[in-house]
Chain A
């Protein structure tokens, strides 16, 4: 069967040769195919694959930018950044994580529960990712750590920055910052680029209002990673930009004084420059420690805040709504005079109450004030007199005046926690409650009870606009370099330089582009006189809290807003405010301007459940006014334009 003859070999060779030729042709085709594929990948589509390779190997982390600073009017820091000391641990570099924790426990404050949570967290993440063991170490802990660092393999002491509030008197106005929540990310578009570990955002107050600009621009850290995500080397960095620094109109010294004056009570104080609307002070009591929120508030502390009946987290100056009480009488009187429906000389005898269609309307003074004219009624805050004024005036006219002076609308912009309050009128009641207005309700409205609701800042603005002669001002809390020169201030400067000038109001308005809120400025002056009498003449409601020194002398109006109406039985028994339970006591109001001779500032004081304005609110105002006037000189010489450039 085996054949070695040459013809057999020759025929085999031919077959093999022919078939090998086919194979070679096939090889050539495949060769072209492979080179074609290489061309496609490495020449034609190379750019695409290069970018894919870079996408594979580069990762970027954002670096949190330092947050902008908030200063007071004099450049003192109200909210600043503080160096903090943290401890990070890289599990990969640690020979034994359990031993490390035991060792760390002896050096820093670390509870077993925290260790348990940390271990759980570490187990979830990659071993080369560092875990934050403690984000706010004390200096002594930090130095101790550094001393023993050679024994703590894998532990990294890190110096970082975080928000710091040196002083908590401005806690409500400034607000606080805290970690970004899922809700924040959804609602605030500007956070899209800023969701970085270590970035805290403003939750309330100015921190929230100015958040977008104070956050700054994040920096970048670009590094190369391997297929498992481990960092191999840093490639490049780009520094971020610090957020904008803001100067406020607040005066830290006055904030402290106001806070001190409200120390034992729940309430609010607002102080405003009556010419340029600068909010010199805005304090709410009780306050909270904003630093507690920066690193996450502790459960016990949060529970304590939540359980406090005086609601420390609420900024009562702009978010607290209270009936304005007798302080509205300034506007009731003004409105009546402006509308020419009431003769201020008209005297009415107050017997302590009036009968109105069978219903009894009481004066706060049980035995009555006797005969009074309008000025006397303001001075002594007679309710019966104002029932009559209100009856003649009608609620709609009163509401118009109240709205003109800033009630029922937000005073500031951007403060999301601010409330607008209510200025009731007939239409409002029909729309909101769906019922017709009763005349009896007009009488209540005339003395600031019933549906009326306002914030302390609104009443401060109202007082300021009366005190400055009845001109509109735009309150502000942040100093803006680009603010237009204040017309009222210009007019004031003009008057100072030309003391003998006797311009008419019309001319003032024309020359200085002022916005008057009155028809006849005499009416404003009448109200101011009455307020002076209320504070500085015997029998006035706040006479007891007056300043004898002319420099500090103020003119004000007390008020109290009813929580619960007295029953006839309580009236007969002559129950005093101090006798009823705290929660049912009236809120005490006091609004004033000072100094009397040349008014510069307006103040409003609210003391929750303080009883009467004269006993609870006026003494607070007395203390604050003194400090405000003392600080006036310093404030006046601070040229804000100059400071503005320093920002």
Chain B
């Protein structure tokens, strides 16, 4: 064994850690950050206004946060996984009581410097917790009912709490992230098959609990022309914006759909639409490839990491990241109903970026300490 079992912190110097960074991932993130700032600048109408300035500041702050996290030994993250998960659960509980309400849902906590959306953090928290859990569970125990109970409860509690906010989109992402890690860890196909069956049976019951606006979103996804000025409006206008971009796009700051306010939620969920309108097919494909490069790099780090915690976290996070990207893009491209899923880093929103940077930080930490046993 090359590593010392007892030391909590690696003996790497700052310089060592720096050179152990994955620079391809690092520069991809930086590039995405720069693009995101310009996209927000365009969404502000070509001016430096609240969205673009806030977004730029946040990116700088959270990028530093990402660097700090990556320099902390992954062993520490493994050790405190449960604690972090618990804090996130408590934050979700806090939302229930002191949360800020907006447009009929209660999702945020006012931290005065920053309005936090704990459900976003939970997307990472669940991966962290389950990676730690399966790191500790022996492979022979994984499929035992007793050992399945904790993951199911750990996924179910935040899912229900977020659904009740209500925030179906984020809740589903938490659910998928949890299932993915569970599955990657080696839980049998059969169990997932039973769960799917149960879902199908319970789906009609679940639908009856949906809010009217959630139902209309699903209906308008099935047929957007049903109500072109109502629920279908967003999908139609988004498709018009993307399609009218053509091959090379309308040019930076020239997206008429975004500028003339035809595009809804252009800072957040529909930021890719704005980008695709201005930079066309060419720019869109480059953006898609950049996201896939990041996903690929995270998987690559997972491959190199020796610890099960590291592997599970990297694979889990890369898959979750991939889901965030594809769900958002499919949504704006009219392939999925509008569920309210931000595009990582590009979308305006502090909590989402904080969560992504937190996840990326742990991934980078895995890369720096890839040869360490986690404990």
Give me the interface of A with B, judged by CB distance under 8 Å: 1-4, 8-9, 11-13, 15-17, 19-20, 23-24, 27, 30-31, 33-35, 37-39, 41-43, 45-46, 48-50, 52-53, 56-57, 224-228, 232
Instruction: Tell yes or no: B335 within 8 A of A by CB.
Output: yes
Inter-chain contact A23/B180, CB cutoff 8 Å:
yes
A303 to chain B, nearest CB (A): 45
Produce 1/0 per residue, B44-56, CB < 8 A to A: 0000000000000
Residues of B within 8 A of A (CB): 134, 136-139, 141, 180, 183-186, 237, 239-247, 256-257, 259-262, 276, 280-281, 284-285, 288, 292, 295, 299, 302-303, 308, 311-312, 315, 319, 322, 326, 329-330, 333, 335, 373
* B residues near A24, Cβ cutoff 8 Å: 299
Known: A23-B180, A46-B243, A56-B262. A16 touches B257 (CB 8 A): no
Query: Min CB distance, B288 to chain A, in Å?
Result: 6
Please provide the 3 A-B residue pairs with the shortest distance between their CB atoms, ordered closest to farther.
Answer: A49-B243, A53-B244, A42-B281
User: Are A38 and B285 interface neighbours, CB within 8 A?
Assistant: yes
Contact, CB under 8 Å: A57 / B256: yes
User: Per a CB cutoff under 8 Å, which of B138, B244, B284 touches A38?
Assistant: B284
Closest B residue by C-beta to A51? B244
Q: Give the complex CA separation of A226 and B373 in angstroms.
A: 59
Q: Known contacts being A35-B285, A37-B333, is A42 close to B243, with CB within 8 Å? A: yes
Minimum C-beta distance from A269 to chain B (A) = 62
Q: Flag if A42 contacts B262 (CB, 8 Å).
A: no
Of the candidates B261, B302, B303, B312, the one having the most CB atoms from chain A within 10 angstroms of its own CB is B261
Q: Are A42 and B288 in contact (CB under 8 A)?
A: no
Which has the most chain B C-beta neighbours within 10 Å: A19, A20, A46, A57?
A: A20
- Chain A residues within 8 Å of B333, by CB: 34, 37-38, 41
Q: Give every chain B residue within 8 A of A53 (Cβ-Cβ).
A: 240-241, 243-244, 256-257, 262
The distance from the CB of A30 to the nearest CB of chain B, in whole angstroms, is: 5
Given A16-B186, A20-B315, CB of A42 within 8 Å of CB of B245: yes
Interchain CB contact under 8 A, A49 and B240 = yes
User: Closest chain B residue to A44 by CB distance?
Assistant: B243
Q: Main secondary structure on chain B at its contact with chain A?
A: helix
A41 touches B186 (CB 8 A): no
Q: How far is the CA of A319 from the CA of B150 in the complex (A)?
A: 99
Q: In the complex, are the beta carbons of B285 and A225 less than 8 A apart? A: no
In the bound complex, what is the Cα–Cα distance between A224 and B261 (angstroms)? 12
How many angstroms from the CA of A227 to the CA of B262 in the assembled complex? Answer: 5
Q: How far is the CA of A9 from the CA of B256 in the complex (A)?
A: 55
- Chain B residues, CB < 8 A from A228: 261
How far does the alpha carbon of A265 sit from the alpha carbon of B331 in the complex, in Å?
81
**Bound Cα distance A41, B333 (Å):** 8
Per a CB cutoff under 8 Å, which of A4, A43, A48, A56 touches B281?
A43
Report the nearest B residue to A58, measured CB to CB.
B256
CA distance A13 to B186 in the complex (A): 10
B315 and A9 within 8 A (CB):
no
B212 to chain A, nearest CB (A): 24
B113 to chain A, nearest CB (A): 34
Query: Residues of A contacting B183 with CB < 8 Å?
Result: 19
Complex CA–CA separation, A13 to B303 (angstroms): 9
Nearest residue, chain B, Cβ from A37 = B333
> Whole-angstrom distance from the CB of A87 to the nearest CB of chain B?
30
Cβ of B184: which chain A residues have Cβ within 8 Å of it?
16, 19-20, 23
Residues of B within 8 A of A17 (CB): 303
* Cβ contact of A30, chosen from B139, B299, B326, cutoff 8 A: B326
A191→B237 CA distance, assembly (Å): 34
The closest CB in chain A to the CB of B134 belongs to A12
Picked from A3, A33, A37, A226, the residue with its CB within 8 Å of the CB of B138 is A3
Contact between chains at B186 and A50 (CB < 8 Å)? no
- Chain A residues with CB under 8 A of B261: 226-228
| Shortest Cβ gap from B260 to chain A (Å) | 4
Closest residue on chain B to residue A38 by CB atoms:
B284
Q: List 18 A-B contacts (CB under 8 A).
A: A12-B139, A12-B185, A17-B303, A27-B322, A34-B330, A37-B335, A41-B242, A42-B280, A43-B246, A46-B243, A46-B246, A48-B243, A50-B244, A52-B240, A57-B257, A224-B256, A227-B262, A228-B261
Residues of B within 8 A of A57 (CB): 256-257, 260, 262
Residue of A nearest to B189 (CB): A19
The distance in angstroms between the C-alpha atoms of A430 and B311, with both chains bound, is: 110
Chain A contacts for B245, CB-based, 8 A? 42, 46
- In the complex formed, the residue of B with least CB distance to A3 is B138
* Residue pair B244, A49 in contact (C-beta under 8 Å): yes
Q: Which residue of A lies closest to B280 (CB)?
A: A42
Distance in Å: Cβ of A31 to nearest Cβ of chain B: 6
**B308 touches which one: A13, A52, A232 (CB < 8 A)?**
A13
A232 with B285: CB separation less than 8 A = no
Knowing that A2-B138, A42-B281 are A-B contacts, what are 19 other residue pairs whose CB atoms are under 8 Å apart, sorted by A's residue number?
Answer: A3-B138, A11-B139, A12-B134, A12-B308, A15-B139, A15-B186, A16-B308, A16-B312, A17-B303, A27-B322, A39-B281, A42-B276, A46-B244, A46-B281, A48-B243, A49-B242, A53-B244, A225-B260, A227-B260
CA–CA, A16 and B183, complex, Å: 9
Q: Is B285 touching A56 in the complex (CB atoms < 8 A)?
A: no
CA distance A50 to B244 in the complex (A): 4
Provide the bound-state CA to CA distance between A228 and B233, in Å. Answer: 13
Question: Min CB distance, A357 to chain B, in Å?
Answer: 83
Whether the pair B326, A38 counts as a contact (CB closer than 8 A) is no
B253 to chain A minimum Cβ distance, whole angstroms, is 14
Q: Smallest CB–CB gap between B97 and chain A, Å?
A: 36
